[in-house]
Copies of this chain bind each other. A is one copy, B any other.
Amino acid sequence: MRYTLFGESHGPAIGVVLQGVPPGLDMDMGFIASEMARRAPGASALTSPRSEKDAVRVLSGVFEGKTCGTPLCGIIENTDTRPRDYAGTRWLARPGHADFTAHVRCKGFEDYRGGGHFSGRLTAPMVFAGAVAKLALRGRGIEIFARIASVAGITDAPADLAAPDAACLRRAQGSAFPVLDETRGGAMRQAILKARAEGDSVGGSIQCFVLGIPAGLGGPDFDESVESLIARHVFSIPAVKALGFGAGTDLASLRGSQANDPFVPSEAGPATSTNNNGGINGGITNGMPVVFTVTVKPTPSIAREQDTVDMRSGQAARISVSGRHDPCIVPRAVPVVEAAAALAISELPGVLA
């Protein structure tokens, strides 16, 4: 399964084309709507008040409620694009945003309104595509769960990478602020509200678990490692700036005797007693949960004034990005990370065949 995103934040519509969808998949529109709702803004005081219905219209690839196996296109009309005055900031590159790079890349022909094609809004069709991938994977016994691992330096409770508690993960997944430890979650929310009150934003991290994935997927070509594949998808999410598998960056200070995951017999064949390698050896799944953690940078849109440059004049300027921005996009990014994982795993040869 492969996907192609299209659309601009304030253009007529955004959407996605999915190729390689297996035929006969039941399009559970209730599940899809619930996935879209997890990402949609406006769910709580913590998120942007922008009202995005994010109702997906399926244009192709589905017949009588089931996938045909032909390219599946879903679009979301952009209804909340009230005309606003961009005149004041048209040429001011917002720090941390893609305004300047899009301007260079598109040679000045970019749709600059609201970030255009490079808006976080494009994660909506990504979640739709991920929902279809999840439906396909579920039929193969593969499930994907992500949770907030940290916000503003406050960490959630650790999970057992070798034997994560699926029930807890599922419970977290059903929450608007998916953490394992609600007390720590409360502290994170406080930190978010504090940052907002100060005209600022905070970042965090998300940990993702792929359960039920069989051994032997990925490779043998080096750039087809499961890590490479997941990384390609995960780094297509705006704001994701780091990715680690298993114990991730902690592996830098471990010794081999600590980091190696010893093999132990199990009914299903060799398993490992720890999972510092995140379910992947030599770029190939080993049958343990595939686990990875991504770092989400703080929302670049902040009310505080920042230095910038006027792209037309080249002169120094100041900018304050007022308006309806999320002080922390980590909660809304959780389903996006799951979607990227689902899309990556669905692309692995042999998973959906």
In the complex, A338→B277 CA distance in Å?
23
The reply to whether B110 and A69 contact each other, CB–CB distance below 8 Å, is yes
Interface string of A166-202 (1 = CB under 8 A from B): 0000000000000000000000000000010000111
Alpha-carbon gap, A67 to B95, bound state (A): 25
In Å, the complex CA distance between A60 and B122 comes to 12
Which residues of A1-36 are within 8 A (CB) of B? 4-8, 11-15, 17, 19, 23-24
For A251, give its contact among B118, B283, B298, B306 (CB under 8 Å): B298
| CB nearest to A251 among chain B residues | B297
A232 and B243 within 8 A (CB): no
Could you say which residues of chain B place their CB within 8 Å of the CB of A315? 265
B248 and A242 contact, CB distance less than 8 A: yes
If A73-B6, A235-B231 touch, whether A109 touches B17 (CB-CB below 8 Å) is: no
Complex interface residues of chain A between 313 and 353 (CB less than 8 A to chain B): 314-316, 349-350, 353
List the 10 shortest-distance A-B pairs measured between CB atoms, nearest first: A98-B282, A242-B244, A104-B216, A231-B231, A201-B256, A101-B284, A153-B253, A262-B307, A96-B260, A227-B235
Beyond A244-B249, A248-B249, 6 extra complex contacts between A and B, CB < 8 Å:
A7-B73, A15-B73, A24-B109, A200-B256, A227-B235, A232-B232
